[in-house]
Amino acid sequence: MDSTRVTEHPTSFDRPSTGADPTDPRGALLRTPGPPRASGSALPVQGRAGQTPPAAGEDSAGAFEHSQPGAGQAAEPGAHRPRPAAEGVPAQPDGGQPAGAPPGDAPSADVTAAGVSSGGVSAAGQAGLVQPGSGAPAGAGGAGRRGAPPEPDRRTGQPTAPGRPTPMRRDGDRLRFVGAATRRIARGMDLDEIVMGLCRATVPTFADAILVYLREPLPVGDERPTGPLVLRLRRTDRIPAERDTEGGFTPAPQPEPSELETVGAELCEVRPGSALAEVLRGVRPVFTDTPAARAALPELLGEDRDFPLPDGRRAILAPLRGRRRVIGAALFLRGPERVAFEADDLLVAAQLATHSALGIDKAVLYGREAYIADELQRTMLPENLPRCTGVRLASRYLPAAETARVGGDWYDAIPLPGSRVALVVGDVMGHSMTSAAIMGQLRTTAQTLAGLDLPPQEVLHHLDEQAQRLGTDRMATCLYAVYDPVSHRITVANAGHPPPVLLHLGGHAEVLRVPAGAPIGVGGVDFEAVELDAPAGATLLLYTDGLVESRLRDVWTGIEQLRERLAATAQLTGPDHPPPLEALCDEVLDMLGPGDRDDDIALLAARFDGIAPSDVAYWFLEPEDAAPGKARRLARRALARWGMEDLTDSVELLVSEVVTNAVRYASKPVTLRLLRTDVLRCEVGDDVPQLPRLRQARATDEGGRGLYLVNRLARRWGATRLSTGKVVWFELNRG
């Protein structure tokens, strides 16, 4: 494993300056408005009257900090201190530059990224460095006088022309650039943002172009990747052809398009033992003029591609290593008109690669966690609401924020025997995966209890017991309602949840008066149910407190605003036509303001269509041998009254079989009910709790074929256990 350590540099390098931002894409070149102010440092050495500034080369750590004009310097009118130099990496003047720095001016090429944290860049070493826009070290005699001729560049020996930029030479410049670049990379939350941050921070400040390759697929956490190492070109960036010339920025000479625009293949498979594999295994950035890197580049960029690379030290190949293994590589390129990379730039590339790789590792882990959270939330909520007789349903769910997608809010619609439907909405305390898991357990418990056809208050009582078994601090609010489309009534029980709102057909909206009750999980409390009218055409709205409560308003203010919004929406469609359910849900969510998303929001809307009394036929049959024949005659008369004689034969056969099975074991009267909706539904109830099972009768059996006929002829069929027995039902299409 690489021993590279990421060092947080002193905050003195992070002070905002009036120079160019190192992450500004326009900061590669600065237009100097006039002749250089001084041939010395852009930040003159601090001096006072009667004192002599330190000479060039003297150990004066911190001499460039907060410097003032010396006694012998002519300060400009109204200027209290000189403006700091730009932090960008300007392009090299046309004077030319050798591939490497002269001996003695730059550290050895063997310096590693660990040198940054071990003192490789010291304050004493910064004191005599050259600043951008300057031609001589700080402290040169008479450097601050106006009209002084420009001094030659300390490294190239060539004079700096007025108005011409110079490359970044100081270690302080590099430290400030690395600090700003790593902060920009660290701001990214996902993979694309981190890679884009690396590209935007690097080009054009550090390089003219960059190619970022990432492993395909990226390993997650401690999992060991299988298969060969394949790198995919994730993103490229380069200096644009045209630069913004406003605010002191000038266009830079651009390289030929064939040199920095056409390089790079889409996929690259790293063969074991190849030159590229050896470079990646070494982890540390290398110049591409070395033999190993020169042999690795064709494998990375594509051996079948004809591309020219800049000569000399104008390309750096930096492996990207995460916590466990190499996850990619970055290639930094400079054009021929720009100064070549120096040995210290390897340290910069190492820091950029290290921060980017660790950020990519975290982004991949965060992406996996977000995926698990999304899947957990999706599986806990119903994918599709059921189609129930006499009621239409619509729902919405909104998480609190993109960074906290999992919560404890849920809704559900559960079909019940007798064409009834249970409407449930709940909210578990907290906003985490634990809350979502508890919500899933409570929702499953509610579905099981609803299948037993228990009264709403009994359902809440058993949910309270289940919450106490899950833990002492597991609390939730819940509202459970059962709608009967035949009687046009609804039974509601509440456990500390906000009351529902009923929107009538004429446009009047009212908050239903239901007992508040205690939240689920408190224990030792009784729940009370109330039965209310549910007229046809009315809409019942169930919701969680995230819709009506926030930091800007209390819950009752939000409920009143919700009632007013529903009434105003109903007025748009007129008194005889209720608003469409989907549009109504969207309109309700539009009442949320920018600061109202403090909690999850679950919304369930139910439009009561009901079943007209003329479409219902209901009888009681004594458990006797004549009951099947009587059931056939009653069914025939009902079908004739409804104009459905074409179904007479099928209905008589199936009703006879189901009633015969019920009469054989029942001790109390058997119920027979026919419902005419979009389908014809037949329900037979008795007092025996055992459910019938479909089985294959043998050739010698005299019975056992009744349910087989029902299964073959009916559109759907089923059996539901009740607290007083069971109901067997089947449906037939209406011709």
- The pLDDT tens digits of the residues spanning 171-187 come to 678 888 988 888 988 88
Of residues 451 and 39, more confidently modeled: 451
Res. 270: pLDDT tops 60 = yes
- Give the count of beta carbons closer than 10 Å to the beta carbon of residue 185: 26
Q: Distance (Å, rounded) from C-alpha 68 to C-alpha 45? A: 7
Mean pLDDT within 366-382 = 79
pLDDT at residue 382, rounded to an integer: 87
Of residues 305 and 196, more confidently modeled: 196
Would you give the DSSP letter of residue 544?
-
Question: What separation in angstroms does the CA of 299 have from each of 225, 230, 310?
Answer: 21, 12, 17
**Most confident among 116-120, 153-157, 554-558 (mean pLDDT):** 554-558
Q: Quick one: which of 356, 89, 361 has its CA closest to 235?
A: 356
pLDDT at residue 402, rounded to an integer: 54
Of residues 715 and 92, more confidently modeled: 715
Q: Quick one: which of 530, 516, 493, 380 has its CA closest to 445?
A: 380
pLDDT at residue 704, rounded to an integer: 63
- Which three-class secondary structure state does DSSP give residue 172? helix
Of residues 303 and 256, more confidently modeled: 303
Would you give the DSSP letter of residue 40?
S
Res. 277: pLDDT tops 50 = yes
Q: Distance (Å, rounded) from C-alpha 662 to C-alpha 311? A: 93
Which stretch of 101-110, 402-411, 635-644 has the lowest confidence by average pLDDT? Answer: 101-110
Residue 476 Cα to chain centre, angstroms: 26
Percentage of residues of the chain with pLDDT beyond 90: 30
Mean pLDDT within 624-628 = 93
Q: Residue 443 corresponds to which tokens in the numbers above? A: 């929702």
Identify the band that residue 471 occupies on the pLDDT scale cut at 50, 70 and 90. Answer: confident
Res. 120: pLDDT tops 70 = no
**Most confident among 27-31, 301-305, 573-577 (mean pLDDT):** 573-577
Percentage of residues of the chain with pLDDT beyond 70: 68
Which stretch of 166-170, 353-357, 367-371, 527-531 has the lowest confidence by average pLDDT? Answer: 166-170
Tokens 């059921």 label which residue?
386
Res. 584: pLDDT tops 50 = yes
Identify the band that residue 323 occupies on the pLDDT scale cut at 50, 70 and 90. Answer: confident
Which stretch of 345-349, 540-544, 549-553, 568-572 has the lowest confidence by average pLDDT? Answer: 549-553
Tell me: the pLDDT tens digits for 34-66? Answer: 444 443 333 333 343 344 444 443 443 333 333
Please say whether the dihedral angle defined by the alpha carbons of residues 695, 697, 698 and 701, taken in this order, is positive or negative: positive
Q: Residue 323 corresponds to which tokens in the numbers above? A: 């916590």
Residue 278 Cα to chain centre, angstroms: 37
pLDDT at residue 122, rounded to an integer: 37
The model carries a pTM of 0.61
Q: Distance (Å, rounded) from C-alpha 26 to C-alpha 251? A: 9
Mean pLDDT (the chain, rounded): 74
In sequence order, the 6+-apart residues with CB closer than 8 A to the CB of 444 are none
Which stretch of 71-80, 441-450, 503-512, 717-726 has the lowest confidence by average pLDDT? Answer: 71-80
pLDDT at residue 81, rounded to an integer: 43
Residue 116 Cα to chain centre, angstroms: 35
**Most confident among 29-33, 467-471, 648-652 (mean pLDDT):** 648-652
Tell me how many helices (H) and strands (E) the chain has: 15, 21
Res. 654: pLDDT tops 50 = yes
Identify the band that residue 723 occupies on the pLDDT scale cut at 50, 70 and 90. Answer: confident
Res. 128: pLDDT tops 50 = no
Please say whether the dihedral angle defined by the alpha carbons of residues 352, 355, 358 and 363, taken in this order, is positive or negative: negative
Of residues 140 and 564, more confidently modeled: 564
Mean pLDDT within 461-486 = 91
Res. 629: pLDDT tops 90 = yes
The dihedrals phi and psi of 570, each to the nearest 5 degrees, come to: -65, -30
Tell me: the pLDDT tens digits for 381-439? Answer: 888 899 888 999 999 988 776 555 567 889 999 998 888 999 999 999 877 778 888 88
Which stretch of 165-179, 441-455, 527-541 has the lowest confidence by average pLDDT? Answer: 165-179
Tell me: the pLDDT tens digits for 291-300? Answer: 888 888 888 8
pLDDT at residue 460, rounded to an integer: 95
**Most confident among 216-225, 235-244, 497-506, 590-599 (mean pLDDT):** 497-506
Asked if 253 and 281 touch (Cβ cutoff 8 Å), the reply is no
Q: Distance (Å, rounded) from C-alpha 715 to C-alpha 196? A: 57
- Which three-class secondary structure state does DSSP give residue 30? coil
The answer to whether the peptide bond before residue 204 is cis (omega within 30 degrees of 0) is yes
pLDDT at residue 392, rounded to an integer: 94
Of residues 134 and 477, more confidently modeled: 477
DSSP character string of 102-117:
PTTTS--TT--THHHH
Between β-strands 529-533 and 539-543, what pairing exists: parallel, antiparallel or unpaired?
unpaired
Would you give the DSSP letter of residue 323?
S
- Give the count of beta carbons closer than 10 Å to the beta carbon of residue 535: 12
pLDDT at residue 31, rounded to an integer: 38
Asked if 488 and 481 touch (Cβ cutoff 8 Å), the reply is no
Of residues 3 and 563, more confidently modeled: 563
Tokens 């884009």 label which residue?
196
Q: Distance (Å, rounded) from C-alpha 409 to C-alpha 411? A: 7
Res. 638: pLDDT tops 90 = yes
Res. 3: pLDDT tops 60 = no
pLDDT at residue 304, rounded to an integer: 61
